[in-house]
């Protein structure tokens, strides 16, 4: 497991501004991640024990904020040309940390929620199942030890194939580009 984030992943610091009314926080500026604008935003509620993923996008990047609760972000670098290829990282994000996570294309990711949580994420391309590869989040090759035993997974994630199969799909997709 990598001690740092896979290459190109970023934790962007957010700066809450407090006053007697409460707090105002900018959560996204396009210049923070130096690339194209977000074209879609998703607001997601997750029950305690939910695991979403592991998913991979070949064309799309995600910019993600934990608004409420606690999220463990598992990352695995599938880009053969990357210096961190084949390496994983797991980190915990809470709203109090005041960070947004930027996930580039080619880095597989899963979200595990230890308590009821709300996340907000911006997509650089419209969501489509064609760019939502998936694999078994417990595949030992991922080298990600999700915290907590109780698990709520989607049907798709429960029946997803291996990391090796997802890597083969991703490699094939890249050859056609
Ligand atoms: C992601 C998404 C899903 N949906 C629909 C499809 C389905 O009916 C319902 C729930 O979708 P899913 O089960 O795919 O949701 P989920 O498993 O949370 O999918 C997400 O997982 C994390 C790890 C990611 O990486 C995200 O990009 C996305 O893939 O919402 C949309 O309409 N638009 C969207 O942008």
Q: Is 55 annotated as catalytic?
A: yes
Q: Hey, whose CA ends up nearest to atom 9 of ligand 1?
A: 154
Tokens 């497991």 appear where? Answer: 1
* Total number of domains constituting the chain: 1
ipTM: 0.97
- Ligand 1 proximity of 127 Cβ (cutoff 6 Å): yes
Residue 149 has pLDDT above 80, yes or no: no
Q: Which two tokens stand for residue 79?
A: 């880009």
Alpha-carbon gap, residue 118 to 58, rounded angstroms: 25
What range defines the domain where residue 57 resides? 10-175
**pLDDT exceeds cutoff 90 at 111:** yes
Query: What is the model's pTM?
Result: 0.96
SS3 per residue for the chain = CCCCCCCCCEEEECCCEEECCEEECCCCCHHHCCCCCCCEEEEEEECCCEEEEEEECCCCCEEEEEEECCEEEEEEECCCCCCCCCCEEEEEECHHHCEEEEECCCEEEEEEECCCEEEEEEECCCCCHHHCEECCCCCHHHCCCCCCCCCECCHHHHCCCCHHHHHHHHHHHHHCC
pLDDT exceeds 90 at position 98: yes
User: Following CA atoms 166, 42, 60, 155 in sequence, which dihedral angle do they give, to the nearest 10 degrees?
Assistant: 10
Residue 66 pairs in a beta bridge with: 119
Q: Is residue 143 part of a domain?
A: yes
Marked catalytic residue, from 55, 57, 89, 109:
55
Among residues 121, 109, 120, 115, the alpha carbon closest in space to that of 74 is found at 109
Mean of the pLDDT values across residues 86-93? 97
For the Cβ of 170 lying below 6 angstroms from any atom of ligand 1, the answer is: no
Q: Whose CA is nearest to atom 32 of ligand 1?
A: 127
CATH of residue 132: 2.60.120.10
User: What is the reported pLDDT for 156?
Assistant: 96
- Residue 51 belongs to some domain of the structure: yes
Note whether residue 145 is domain-resident: yes
Domain membership of residue 30 (yes or no) is yes
Tens of pLDDT along 2-46?
Answer: 778 999 999 999 999 999 999 999 999 999 987 778 999 999 999
**Is there a contact between 77 and 85 (Cβ–Cβ < 8 Å)?**
yes
Pocket-testing residue among 123, 127, 129, 135, ligand 1, by greatest number of atoms within 8 A of Cβ:
127
Per-residue model confidence (pLDDT) at position 36: 75
> 42 in ligand 1 pocket by Cβ < 6 Å?
yes
In a domain, 131, yes or no: yes
Q: Is residue 5, in this structure, part of any structural domain at all?
A: no
Instruction: Assess contact for 52 and 103: CB atoms under 8 A.
Output: no
- Indicate which residue of 102, 112, 121, 170 is catalytic: 121
The predicted structure's pLDDT at residue 66: 98
């Amino acid at each position: 497991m990598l001690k740092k984030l896979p290459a190109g992943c970023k934790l962007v610091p957010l700066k809450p501004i407090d006053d007697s009314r409460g707090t105002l926080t900018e959560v996204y500026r396009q210049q923070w991640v130096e690339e194209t604008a977000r074209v879609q935003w998703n607001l997601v509620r997750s029950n305690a024990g939910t695991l979403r993923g592991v998913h991979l996008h070949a064309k799309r990047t995600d910019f993600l904020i934990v608004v409420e609760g606690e999220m463990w972000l598992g990352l695995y670098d599938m880009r053969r040309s990357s210096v961190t290829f084949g390496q994983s990282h797991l980190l915990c994000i809470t709203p109090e940390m005041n960070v947004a996570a930027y996930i580039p294309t080619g880095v597989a990711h899963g979200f595990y929620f230890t308590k009821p949580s709300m996340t907000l994420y911006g997509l650089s391309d419209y969501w489509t199942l064609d760019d939502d590869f998936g694999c078994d989040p417990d595949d030992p090759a991922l080298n990600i030890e999700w915290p907590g035993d109780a698990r709520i997974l989607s049907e798709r994630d429960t029946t997803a194939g291996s990391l090796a199969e997802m890597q083969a799909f991703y490699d094939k997709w890249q050859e056609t580009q």
